[in-house]
Structure 1
């Protein structure tokens, strides 16, 4: 619905135009008999179209046009004029009028002019709507764009010049200045607890970002991002204007205050994350501001600090200077202790393979029971991967046990979070071992017999084909070593003996009941060479194939 004022000092013209447009449902009409009356309407109503005489007593059309532009800049103004008012028309169009008509024009022409104005209003509305949608889409995409951009900076994928950096920060709505260095703050979730769902974790990371911003934004400008989907970092600059160029003392004081404030606030952020989100979070922060082109190197160093420091889950607050100065058992002593533990893992592999659950649990508890949380992240990862290899080896040898992994997050065997705690590791592998032992105890033997029956049938039907252990295992979708061991366990004979037996029986059948030549029979039972077949047959029967046929 659009609103239109009809303005003329002659009532008969106003009434005639009101009658002309009265049937147009998309127009609300307002009569005005002077520019002043029109102005009163403009003050209280949003007007979309003004259809006005250009020359009127008191306030003329050009003056009215200026008032219209003050109140409703997008309003379309159509002037009615006579032949001798051309100079007025010129002023009207240059002043922002939309169109003009001669008073002698037909009703159709006047309606067409108003319809044109409505069409222009519709087009402008659609253009604004598209612009608004584009702005909304950009606003929604900005967090993702920021994260991708910051990720590129931190991983040396992007190395913009200072001029380009300034442009990119502005384009990404990142509230930092390219002319100033930044403080780098890196955060790590020490333990996710029971928050295993990926969506829950993303929400928790978003909440940590919000908590940090709430505590830090009063004195800093900052931007944050997630990396490796599980950890975070922030770039920070002081609030307010940069001190005058050359005022080194003032600049150092500003940065010193900013670091002191932010580092002190980390304790409050940790407490809020612990109480509200039930998450322990650790931080490491650069003590001095960093030039933009040094961020990637420092970021890499600060990530490593988390792995070299013991005490995951203890809500660390470190700086890039103080890291590594924690007291306690020396790293060399811890390394020797860990080495003694990892050497026992091969014995765990043996117990798992042979179903010795009691022995496995006793040794596993011995390996995992002491000192776990005093190890650095690198040491914990070494132990994690050593244990994971035990279970991956078991799965490779026993593919039918893959059903076990439907009950547990099997992806953790090949992908481990850097922040994994000793307790999480201990619980995960203990649970996995328990599932495997339960599977071994409960798996139906009928399934294994089915495999053997299928294998015997396959061998008999494919005597002329490749019957190597590797090929047979591929057909059965089993590991070769597992297939060989399973077959011998169920039948009491090896696969090789079974294949030789089937080839001999088929050869004897063909020698007695067919007219195939010896070399043809050799090919039918899987021998490329006639002589190889004769040697095999003579070894098995103590006579040649021809002697057997002649009996």
Structure 2
């Protein structure tokens, strides 16, 4: 929703423009200012998208206001409305981008048309395509970051999207979603004994990924990234030319499976040789030692996470210090090999819980616990305590210990008759935490709406603009407007209007206050404005079009 500020030192003009624009169906948050100084206060307090202002005003005039607007909100559109044919002022106005000029004598239709034009210009300027075109360099950087984040997401447990190719296209990833991928991992260390900061280690890892990309370029498709442990991970496929060439050679040999296996071995040898070159380049140019672990076969995308987990586990055992070593690990499935470590998945569980992603959390929980019968007691203990610590950390941070029924049992698995019963308890506790989160959000929303309504009742004689009310409860105006409409079924402005009508009626029933005094008590300093407001509301009731206002009135009375 755009915000429009009306500025004129003549109160009747300001109020008239406000009422006219309120009734023309534009989705705008309207604000009023009766002087340039008051307009500056608005500009300092909140974002303003369109300003409809007189040029000639005492104190700060329209042209001075224009300079302040361009400093504070450069995207803001300005419409000057004046009764003076001042050539200098007009000339300066029309020379400034985003500024329109109208004479007051042209009437409301011209004003409405100018406001609609300003809204259209704002929409055009904020189109995503235009923003991307103006920030292409930044987009390229963000693409690299997004690709790394996307694959880290897959490596650490997320299931690939059903249409993986669509994700690759959107992120400009050159890998083929229809073919398996080799996985390689590089652990970095300084050849010298010099200590390195986190920033230096991260910079070194990025430099290694770029150097490897250049040395692998052409022969393979590759993408390098940094995992959460600070190691470099590469995803590698044969380039289209190399794959076609290999298929032709296999056809010529006509040896069926033997040809395929021989070709796989040949490609693996090529990768080992290239990583040896990468190691030499890193050592000579950056004083970095890189130990590389390379899977001996490509992995399907759906099994990428388990392949990565297996490589990390096997990579923990090295011969010597492992420096400058390129180690090829067998990824052949083993009946006793565990597909994942609970600790490797705890961050994903915690992230889903913190973000309120119930379905994703429970899906990962079920994946971890469904295989519990196939593992021994030490593994089950590790799994139980890993999940319990995720839940316990969340409960402590949000101070929910008194609201979770089974809180004391979280770290006591021996209280359950079986592991199946223990994990069922953890799953139920997880569901309870998601319910508490949902109810807490609803309760906080209801409390915020209650505070706003109470504030409105106590300050009907003051400024009750959306900006002021939003500042009172520390929300942004657009969110407050949407939240109030969701909770109460009517716009906040309608609620305020109904509240003022009810208060005015109650005061007018007495004999001790004049109409002017009643108007002041419900926020109208000028008697003409109050009379206009009251008559307009009365006409709406008489015409039978005030159903929503009647509902609001009931809410106000309640």
TM-score (norm 1): 0.33
TM-score (norm 2): 0.33
The structure with the largest alpha-carbon Rg is 1
